[in-house]
Structure 1
Amino acid sequence: MKRILSLIAGLFLAFNAMAQAPAAPQQKIDELVRLLQDPDVQAWLNSRKEAGAPAASPASSTSPASPAGTSNLADWETAARTRVHEIIAAIPAIPAEVTAAALRARQDATSRGYAPVFVIFGGLVALGLLAEALYGRLVARRETLLGRLAPVGIFAGAMAIVFFAVEWPPLARVTLLAYLSAFILFRLAIVCLSAADIAAPLRVRLTIIFAVVSLAAATAAVGNPLGVPPVVTGAISYCFSVIGLILAIEAVWATSQRSRAWKAAVAAFLVVLWLIWCVNMRGLFWIGIYALVLPSILNTTGRIAGSFISDPASLRGILIVRGARAAVIALAVGWLALVWQLNPDTLGQRDPFVVALFYGGLKSVLILVCADLLWQLVKGWIDRTLRVATDTTSLAPADAARRARFRTLLPIFRNALAVLVAVMAGLIVLAQLGVQIGPLIAGAGIFGVAIGFGSQTLVKDVISGVFYMLDDAFRVGEYIQAKDYKGTVEGFSLRSVRLRHHRGPVFTVPFGELGAVENMSRDWVIDKFRITVGFNTDIEKARKLTKKVGAELQEDAELGKLFIEPLKMKGVEEFADYGIVLSFAMTTVPGMQTYVRRKAYAKIREVFLSNGIAFAQPTVQVGGDDKDGGAAAAAQAIRAQQASAATPAK
């Protein structure tokens, strides 16, 4: 459906070109100048001027003054009505004028020894097709847009060489140029249709419509050089426009899968656009066309531009894709300005306010396009840098820290830049539309001061966040604790930080509420823990075994890279109720100390038990003063029981 609407835009573009009346031939201008210099004609003109002055004077003195807008509207309505009547009256004269023009072109060619124009046209087309066939034999055709356009370029180049090498008769030259150009444009349209993903029924209808458009444009272009009156040329253009309108409506109804109500609405909209074009309101007509088809044209342009690059997310890809879309919008704006300039009798051009608003709107569109292109380039660079900064494996600590700082600051910079670009573009657009932005800026300043007094907490949060960033207090991905909040930093806004708790909940904490921040993921972590062993433990033996455990942990392929300082036993921390408390310490990378400690616990338990070092356990002493006697008796009973169990039965 989008392609149908794009087609309609091209159709009306050709009709608009047909309706532009070209300049009169030099021969007629010379004849007009000669008649104006004739004494009898000058005397008649003077008499008419003198007779018309008294009649006009009373009317001007007695008629009330009318507003300028009402006069402009009346003049425009009269001109539009007159033009429509002239076109309708000229339609019956089309066959005779076309036949006479064809005879003039034929006689102009045959009188100078050339073949008729249609024979020359057929010969040039055959020559171009021959050159295209030879190119196809020598070069393999590529199934890309450029590969399909290359044969058309060879076809056009071969015809252009012969056309410009021969001195054709004047009328034949103009006629051949118009129809050959239309034929080349038609072939280009066919290539684009074949390259696009379009269903066969729709492709056939679009081919027919482009053929009608090409023929209409060429016929309108040669009308005045061949002596066809401008009114008849306009009538021919209107007839072709009716044919194109009917074909477009038929294509909408036959190929669209939308509802009947939607099809009827599109058909009615096309009819309204055609009526606007008929009454010469070209600016309003093209605004309606852009609103209808420009989004689909931009999407198609972006897709075609993206097919020429491997990475659309790169700066080069963004520049090519967004630049192509910006170029299409700039061309559309330029064409709209040209159409407006070439139609000075348009109703809106007689009102200075409408003219200023129109040109201000065109400039505003270009400003917004430039702002969007700038924002997309900066946003693409920031997003790509953030993707790269997330991978910190196999990096030195300094490089990893720098990338973490990028992940922290770049999102804030992106948000601030988005606000800045939007505000600046909005102010420039308002200035182009005639709004005085000086008082607006001053009023915004006063309003900002009032808001500042009323939202001191918000200002405090924003300023606190700025200073946290300047101090590099924390970065994205680090684990921090502030007051009752702790978790991994996931992101920032202008006024708050988002913390993910290790159990899952997410805290959104304003910067002003953080206070002192405890960063647990910066540089290194010293992890200390204690183990209680029995009172009869050999402390020196435990120290040596701990040193051995630390060496084994550092040699481990998985754990070794997590150590900064190996596991060591600091010594006896205290004498507890049930044993001796030994203190251990190690230095690890941030965030991995818990994982390393669990591995160290398991290794120490295994080594201590295998070397006869028992861990202290809570015990209760029951008995009198003979503390060792009870224990000795119990031990003796256990040994006797074990000995009897080991003695074989007789």
Structure 2
Amino acid sequence: MTVSWMAIRTATLALVVALAALAGGAQPAPAQPAPAEPTPAKVKELLDLLADPGVRDWLAKQQHARPAPAAPPATAQPSLGARMASVREHLATLAAAVPTVPDELARASNILGLEFEEHGLFRVLLLIVGFVALGFGAEWLYYWAGARVERWIVALPLDSVEHRLRAVAVRLAYGTGIVAAFAVGSVGAFLALDWPPLLGEIVLSYLVAFLAVRLALVAGRFILAPGGERFRILPMTTPAAAFWHRRFALFVGWLAFGWVTVALAGTLGVSLDVRRIVAYVLGLGLLAIGLEAVWRRPRPAPQPVQDGERAPARGWFGGVAGTVLLSIYFVLLWLFWVASAMPLFWLAVVAVALPATMAATQRAVNHILRPPGAADADAASPGLIAISLGRGLRAALIVGAVVLLAHAWHVNLADMTAGDALTTRLVRGTLNVVVVALVTDFVWHILKALIDRKLGAAQAGGSPDSEEARRQARLRTLLPILRNVLFIVLLVMAVLTALASVGIEIGPLIAGAGVVGVAVGFGAQTLVRDIFSGMFYLLDDAFRVGEYIQSGNYKGVVESFSLRSIKLRHHRGPLYTVPFGVLGAIQNMSRDWVIDKMGVGVTYDTDVDKVKKLIKQIGKELSEIPEFAPHILEPLKMQGVEQFGDYAIRIRMKIKTKPGQQFTIRRRAYAMIKKAFEANGIKFASPTVTVAGGGGDAAAVARQGLELVQPPPAAS
């Protein structure tokens, strides 16, 4: 390992010395004999002057200086006709500059050729390649030094939210180190040497372009992770991740090198109009990359369809219509750019990119912050942190889009806050309304997530008679009401704040609302009574969701309730919607415990003590059944003889159970009583009719009774 490190260090030092020698920086090269002609010295002086930033700025000002009227105020916006005239003038200027393109490029080529003639084209290319190689060498050294760290990152667990957040932070730091190593090895080594002005600017510009490409590759690998699905931040398939990773790097590379090339053309004296033409031609490459990505982007795999089912319809974005529309959209963007209609260009970019970016950001946040054990972020409900971070990022994206559009449309936001014109106040009010809506949306989703989280925890099962179960039932009852109240409060506050931000006085509005509220209160006393009655029912904990209650003629299980009414589901199915004001006294049949009374009738010759022992034994056996044991609070027992009837002795029994369980236990108890009584010779009493009489008289009476009940014979 020591030998390899020494070899690497020696090779790096040798490469740096070679580059320094090529550049002629630290140690100047031996003086060459001056040519006989004075032209090369003057050319060199011209190149030095062109490389001077002050001279370039002066030339640009002199070239584009035109007499113009006084600039309008920052808040004044040109009319549509003025904008169209500006577009026509821009296109006419480009058309006039097209014939001069060959001459301009030839002059720039001559200046560049003279620079290469002095320093050598091969030498310049070798310098660029050498510094790029230094950057890759420094990056390789970073990989070599951090090999153990990389293996540790690969083995990181991703089972919980904390583990995933730690993995994201570590990977971000590691990727930043990669870019920093390349920058230090390439750009840093370049800046450590002295360079001729024009040559230094050329080499540095293309090194920065290479650095942009490396940054795009590292950022794409960090977000998409084409080689490691475990660390992917934006959820998608592995082929799709690899596809978009390559297209993103290609797009950034073409944009960076094209930008550098156009900027260097300005350094070489190319006019602004010709540089624009070159930029628009290079923009066709960006357009081609976008169109190729749209037409060849990976489609989601079709879902398996069973026999007799219809295939699910694909969204418009995934179909041919969506591809055509996106292609037209990219072509329009290029046309807006060529026409210098930058307000429309940025408006079109924001209109499509902002919703897509917000959706992708929310998906990435939900994927990273998904609950433990949830494999699919779309199937799991997002947690509090995911909602907070997602809404915060969405608000930041919207604010950034507003600032970008304000800059593109030449709207001075600072002047908007101080101006008093009608348009200024309307625009300022609109911005304030957007801010209020974003803040309200953020606060509402945070509060809603908290309440939904509590409701989800309150749905957990447990012992019905425990204190925790009672507390959860109370939460299931009160939290939906609290959520609705908070929504109404936030909505009213947001509306009032928005009205105040656009200049509407809300003091008289609030006073008028108070007067109207008093009038409505007098006119809707029943409604007010229902609302207040419901509040006190909830404060008294009179009922909870899932409990069986009875009030007058209404009874059933509490399914839900609103601010003024309650919904009761009868055990036979009907649903009652009862206003709180008409409930009155409530009989709650689902609290704590119930005592179920049972009775049987036995004949008068029955041994009551034996019956008591049998019922006691049945109660003991009933309590030992695993299905019923948790629900029986006191075993079945006989209370004694209730009454002597005409034909039976009424025996009274009771059993104490949990609410709602008495019906099933009662049916099993009756079955066990019947079986035990039959086995021990105890007879159940039944009503009998005894007809007394003697001999033939009784038979005559019986025949007479039969004749009375039988129908007469049919006539022949």
Normalized against structure 2, the TM-score is what? 0.67
Contact 2:183 2:211 in 1 (8 A): no
1:524 and 2:624 equivalent? Answer: no
Q: Distance in 1 between matches of 2:502 and 2:127?
A: 54
The match for 1:129 among 122, 133, 136 is 136
The match for 1:158 among 181, 185, 188 is 181
**Range that drifts further, 236-245 or 584-593:** 236-245
The match for 2:662 among 593, 611, 624 is 593
Q: Deviations over 1:127-162 (max 9, x none)?
A: 333444566673459599999988864552223113
**Range that drifts further, 77-86 or 394-403:** 77-86
Contact 1:524 1:587 in 2 (8 A): yes
Q: Deviations over 1:326-353 (max 9, x none)?
A: 4433433343344455889xxxx99955
> When the two structures are aligned, how many residues end up with a matched partner?
571
Q: Distance in 1 between matches of 2:109 and 2:181?
A: 26
Contact 2:602 2:685 in 1 (8 A): yes
Letter in 1 for 2:210: L
1:26 and 2:61 equivalent? Answer: no
Contact 1:142 1:148 in 2 (8 A): no
- Aligned position for 1:286: 346
- Aligned position for 1:237: 279
Using a 3 Å threshold, how does the CA distance of structure 1 residues 340 and 363 change in structure 2: closer, same or farther? Answer: farther
1:214 and 2:256 equivalent? Answer: yes
Contact 1:498 1:508 in 2 (8 A): yes
- Aligned position for 1:298: 358
Q: Distance in 1 between matches of 2:422 and 2:344?
A: 16
Map residues 163-312 of structure 1 onto 2, 5 A cutoff.
163-165=187-189, 166-167=192-193, 169=195, 170-171=197-198, 172-173=200-201, 175-176=205-206, 178-188=208-218, 191=221, 195=226, 197=237, 209-222=251-264, 227-245=269-287, 248=290, 252=294, 266-274=326-334, 276-277=336-337, 282-311=342-371
Using a 3 Å threshold, how does the CA distance of structure 1 residues 433 and 608 change in structure 2: closer, same or farther? Answer: same
Letter in 2 for 1:425: A
Name the structure, 1 or 2, with higher relative contact order (CA <8 Å, separation 6+). 1
- Aligned position for 1:468: 537
Q: Distance in 2 between matches of 1:339 and 1:69?
A: 14
1:621 and 2:690 equivalent? Answer: yes
* Structure 1 residue 201: Cα displacement: 8.1
- Aligned position for 1:537: 606
* Structure 1 residue 441: Cα displacement: 3.9
Give SS of 1:490's match: strand
Give SS of 2:368's match: coil
Give SS of 2:639's match: strand
Q: Distance in 2 between matches of 1:569 and 1:425?
A: 66
- Aligned position for 1:391: 460
1:514 and 2:607 equivalent? Answer: no
Using a 3 Å threshold, how does the CA distance of structure 1 residues 539 and 109 change in structure 2: closer, same or farther? Answer: farther
Using a 3 Å threshold, how does the CA distance of structure 1 residues 157 and 185 change in structure 2: closer, same or farther? Answer: closer
Map residues 6-21 of structure 1 onto 2, 5 A cutoff.
none
Contact 1:136 1:151 in 2 (8 A): no
- Aligned position for 1:552: 621
Q: Distance in 2 between matches of 1:319 and 1:251?
A: 33
Letter in 1 for 2:358: L
Q: Distance in 1 between matches of 2:343 and 2:395?
A: 21
Map residues 284-363 of structure 1 onto 2, 5 A cutoff.
284-311=344-371, 313-340=382-409, 353-363=422-432
- Aligned position for 1:488: 557
Contact 1:105 1:117 in 2 (8 A): no
Give SS of 2:436's match: helix
Give SS of 1:515's match: coil
Residue segments in structure 1 that go unaligned for 5+ positions in a row: 1-23, 36-48, 57-67, 627-650
- Aligned position for 2:44: none
The match for 1:409 among 474, 478, 490 is 478
Give SS of 1:383's match: helix
Using a 3 Å threshold, how does the CA distance of structure 1 residues 32 and 276 change in structure 2: closer, same or farther? Answer: closer
Q: Deviations over 1:143-196 (max 9, x none)?
A: 999999888645522231132352454552552464234323543576467745
* Structure 1 residue 525: Cα displacement: 1.0
Map residues 46-195 of structure 1 onto 2, 5 A cutoff.
76=83, 78-94=85-101, 97=104, 118-133=125-140, 138=147, 139=150, 153=176, 155-162=178-185, 163-165=187-189, 166-167=192-193, 169=195, 170-171=197-198, 172-173=200-201, 175-176=205-206, 178-188=208-218, 191=221, 195=226
Which structure's residues are more often helix, by fraction? 1
* Structure 1 residue 369: Cα displacement: 3.0
Residue segments in structure 2 that go unaligned for 5+ positions in a row: 1-51, 156-166, 227-235, 298-315, 372-380, 696-716
Q: CA RMSD in A?
A: 4.5
Q: Distance in 2 between matches of 1:71 and 1:376?
A: 40
Map residues 437-476 of structure 1 onto 2, 5 A cutoff.
437-476=506-545
Q: Distance in 1 between matches of 2:100 and 2:208?
A: 23
Q: Deviations over 1:492-547 (max 9, x none)?
A: 22222222222233323232332322110011112112211111222233223323
Q: Distance in 2 between matches of 1:226 and 1:454?
A: 83
Q: Deviations over 1:583-607 (max 9, x none)?
A: 1122211111112222222222233
**Range that drifts further, 237-246 or 134-143:** 134-143
**Range that drifts further, 106-115 or 613-622:** 106-115
Using a 3 Å threshold, how does the CA distance of structure 1 residues 350 and 574 change in structure 2: closer, same or farther? Answer: closer
* Structure 1 residue 266: Cα displacement: 4.8
The match for 1:365 among 431, 434, 453 is 434
Contact 2:542 2:588 in 1 (8 A): yes
* Structure 1 residue 579: Cα displacement: 0.9
Q: Distance in 2 between matches of 1:159 and 1:202?
A: 23
Using a 3 Å threshold, how does the CA distance of structure 1 residues 130 and 95 change in structure 2: closer, same or farther? Answer: farther
Contact 1:110 1:116 in 2 (8 A): no
- Aligned position for 1:647: none
Give SS of 1:319's match: helix
Using a 3 Å threshold, how does the CA distance of structure 1 residues 258 and 566 change in structure 2: closer, same or farther? Answer: closer
* Structure 1 residue 206: Cα displacement: 6.2
Contact 2:179 2:218 in 1 (8 A): no
Q: Deviations over 1:469-510 (max 9, x none)?
A: 112111011011122222111112222222222223332323
Contact 2:465 2:592 in 1 (8 A): no
Using a 3 Å threshold, how does the CA distance of structure 1 residues 72 and 575 change in structure 2: closer, same or farther? Answer: same
- Aligned position for 1:17: none
Letter in 2 for 1:89: A
Using a 3 Å threshold, how does the CA distance of structure 1 residues 371 and 434 change in structure 2: closer, same or farther? Answer: same
The match for 2:648 among 579, 582, 593 is 579
- Percent same amino acid at aligned positions? 40
**Range that drifts further, 300-309 or 581-590:** 300-309
Give SS of 1:537's match: coil
Q: Deviations over 1:209-261 (max 9, x none)?
A: 44433333334555555655444444443444455446545655676987776
Q: Distance in 1 between matches of 2:121 and 2:419?
A: 50
Using a 3 Å threshold, how does the CA distance of structure 1 residues 96 and 369 change in structure 2: closer, same or farther? Answer: farther
